[in-house]
Every structure is written in structure tokens, then in C-alpha cells.
Amino acid sequence: MTDRPLTKNIDLSRGALSLKEYVAAGGYAGARAIANGLEPSDVLERVKNSGLKGRGGAGFPTGLKWSFVPKSDDVSIQRYLVVNADEMEPGTFKDRMLMEGDPHLLIEGMIIAAYTIQATRAFIFLRGEYFDAERSIAKAIAEARDSGYLGRDIFGTGFDFDIVLHTSAGRYICGEETALLNALEGKRANPRAKPPFPQVSGLWGKPTIVNNVETLCNLPGILAYGVEWYQSLGSGGDFGTKLFGVSGRVNTPGCWELPFGVSIREVIEGYGGGMQEGYALKAFLPGGGSTDFLTPEHLDTPLTYTAIGELGSRLATGTMILLDDKTCPVGMIGNLMKFFAHESCGFCTPCRDGLPWVDTIFRDLESGKGSFKDIDVLKDHVGYLGPGRTFCALAPGATAPLGSGLRLFADEFAAHVSGAKCPYH
């Protein structure tokens, strides 16, 4: 038993555990539980009961997602498991740690997921810039294959399973699961219309489950130690642990595995070591670049999907980006808008044309050429680019820091216009 099922094997001062070391540390016990007679339906039931939610950002219940794969005893129907390892959300640095630090945990999680949905083949869609993770995973896959953990009749279950490691070439939209599937098929990575959902018609039209790296890394613990243990780890309606990170002007920025329900204050002031001398916390994005700003008055909120949601923001990736009092909030939001404008796939008009317009206005505000009318145009775009107005979630994600920032930092926005320059420099 452990209270750090995701990171217990991770020690960044040395390399990742080899397969032999991973097994010696209790690894592949979850996969062996399958070998001891667990049916796919048993695993699905356990994962459903565990309350595991997707860790890629949306927080959708994993077991429920899996249950949408059409049930069929026809094993000739190809099903696919796809790992979303395209970590590229601004301020997010959690999956990198798991992949570089303990690749066998991911592979074991993939075996469990693939067995449950009876997918004989999986693709890991890895961010192209993650060369260290690529090496780490490639080595682990080779070890697993050599030991018969991947390939034909794995663990004597009669189930065949193998993994292809696909490396991308840099494009944020590939993190959107249907765009990711188009990229894997060798097409431009524009998102697809839903429905049909990938669970029914995904990769090459076959039933496909796309899961985030951290989500899959939760599975070995759930099978090895049980649902009761898993649920004892979290509080506040969310179960298990989560990787929480802090970046910005704190004394010890980093990423830590902590139980759900830990307070924001504990993460920022405890693990993060508090703000650096001479800097005060002004606001923060709780879960990467696509979340609404929260402020110091929210520091005692527990980190759960529900509690952060009730504040009008999202837990999302759980990696917090801190804005300090010496950094311009307008500049910070402008930086995010530049990112979203650059990474728009260009398929739908509001996103393709709206985000560059927003980006241009931020450049004007920065250089002292902005007007009050420009600020109104920004406010309009929060609506134009919001949920339901665009083909996928990229532009609505951009409106989260934009809309909340316009409300919270109205004075700073106005000062950029009235002073015809950025008041921070």
C-alpha cells in the first residue's frame, strides 16, 4: 500500500526503473490481477466504482467513457487505445514527469485499459519535443516486449496487445482527442465533428478510447490495492491522488503527487515554499492556461473538481500558474492569447479570426496604442469565442483567462490605455 501510487517509483536524480526493478517494487501486480481471472467487465466495474476521472483536463469519469465502447464478443472488430501524451497546455508539466520517471507504470496502465476495452493495439501520441520521454518509453516498451508483457497472449490471458510509440511535431490542437486521431491517421489535425464519438467511431473508424497519461497511471494502483484503498486517498468527492504543480515566483516551484482535497494554500505555501521575497501573490490560474483566474481569497479552497468548479474556474490539469504583484496581468493574458492565436487550427471562423484579433489588441495595449474601444472588443470576444460558438474547446479555453482577467484587472487594462503604456515597465 502506498499513498503515492503515481510517483512512488520516481526519483529524478536517477533514471527510471527498469522492468526488473519495477517488478521488484511490486509493479505489474495490476496486470497480473487480470491474469488471475479478472474479466474485462470486472475491471470496468472496478474502475467505475473507483471514481477515477480523466486527468487530461476535462475530468470526465474514466469508467463511463470506457463503457461507451460498443459491447461485442466479436474479437475480430479492431479496437484501439490511444494515449494522449501531447502535453502542451501552457504551464503544465506533469505527464513529462510520469513518462520520464516511471514509463512501466504507464505501460501497465495501458495493458489494463486495453484489456478492458479489448483493444489489441495502442498508440502513444507523444509530444515531439519530449525526447527524454521518448527514449524512456521506447526502452520500457522494448523491455516489456522482451519479457512477454507485450505481444501475443500476454500474461497467459489469451489477449494479444502491443504498443506503437508515435511522436508528433508540435501542435497544441493535437491534444484535442479527435484532432489527435486525425493526426495519427496522417491528416491535418483539425478536430472532428462529434458525434460520432471516438468510443464508437474513432481511429480509422474503429472504436477508440483516448486517455491521458496520468489517467492511465492511476489504473495499476486501483487493481493492485483495490477500490476501497483508492477512495481512502482523496476527499471532497474526488478520489485518488493527483499531480499538482506550481510555477511562477515561488521559492520551490515543482510538481507533487497529493490527495484530492488538499488546499491550494498548502500547495503554494507549503510545497511551493511560498512567494519569493519581494513578491506577493496577486492571482493564479489553477489548472493551466485554459482556466479562469482565482485570487488569494480562494487559497483555502480544497483542490477538487467540484470545489474549483464552484468558484467558476476549473481544476483542469492541476498545474497552477502564479501571477505576482510585479508582473503585468495584461501582459500575462496577452502572452496566453498569443499562444492560443498561434495554435488555432484555423478550421472555424471565430477561432481563426477572433484569436489573432484579440492578440493584436493585446500587442497594441502593450505598446500604448490601445483604446477603450479595444477593451470593449476584447469583452465582446469572450462571448464570440465562448462555449458553443466554436468547433472545439480551444477558443473557449482562451476565453477563461481572458474573461476572468478582464473582470479582475479592469484597472490595469484601463491604465494601459490612459497612460498609453504598460504601467509595469
Partner 1 sequence: MQQHVIASSSTNARLRARDLTAEEIAEIEHELTLYPTKQAVGLEALKIVQRHQGWVSDESMLAIADYLSVPVSELEGVATFFNLIFRRPVGDKVILFCDSVSCWIMGCDKVKKRLSEHLGIDYGETSAGGEYTLIPVPCLGDCDKAPVMMVGEKMHRNLSCESIDSLLPLSNAEGSK
Q: Least separation, in Å, of the C-beta of 88 and partner 1?
A: 6
Q: What is the 3-state secondary structure (H, E, C) of the chain?
A: CCCCCCCCCCCCCCCCCCHHHHHHCCCCHHHHHHHCCCCHHHHHHHHHHHCCECCCCCCCEHHHHHHCCCCCCCCCCCCEEEEEECCCCCCCCCHHHHHHHCHHHHHHHHHHHHHHHCCCEEEEEECCCCHHHHHHHHHHHHHHHHCCCCECCHHHCCCCEEEEEEECCCCHHHHCHHHHHHHHCCCCCCCCCCCCCCCCCCHHHCCEEEEEHHHHHCHHHHHHHCHHHHHHHCCCCCCCEEEEEEECCECCCEEEEEECCCEHHHHHHHHCCCECCCCCEEEEEECECCCCCECHHHCCCECCHHHHHHCCCCCCCCEEEEEECCCCHHHHHHHHHHHHHHHCCCCCHHHHHHHHHHHHHHHHHHCCCCCHHHHHHHHHHHHHCCCCCCCCCHHHHHHHHHHHHHHHCHHHHHHHHHCCCCCCC
CB-nearer residue toward partner 1: 227 or 258 = 258
CB-nearer residue toward partner 1: 135 or 265 = 135
- Euclidean distance between the first and the last CA atom of the chain, given in angstroms as a whole number: 52
CB-nearer residue toward partner 1: 171 or 298 = 171
CB-nearer residue toward partner 1: 111 or 323 = 323
Q: Least separation, in Å, of the C-beta of 291 and partner 1?
A: 12
Q: Least separation, in Å, of the C-beta of 70 and partner 1?
A: 20
CB-nearer residue toward partner 1: 238 or 412 = 412
Q: Least separation, in Å, of the C-beta of 303 and partner 1?
A: 17
Q: Which residues bind partner 1 (CB under 8 A)?
A: 87-93, 95-96, 127-132, 164, 166-172, 183-189, 204, 245-249, 253-255, 289, 319, 321-324, 327, 331-332, 335-336, 339, 342-343, 345
CB-nearer residue toward partner 1: 323 or 382 = 323
Q: Least separation, in Å, of the C-beta of 29 and partner 1?
A: 30
Q: Least separation, in Å, of the C-beta of 170 and partner 1?
A: 4
Q: Least separation, in Å, of the C-beta of 255 and partner 1?
A: 6
CB-nearer residue toward partner 1: 304 or 319 = 319
CB-nearer residue toward partner 1: 50 or 344 = 344
Q: Least separation, in Å, of the C-beta of 359 and partner 1?
A: 13
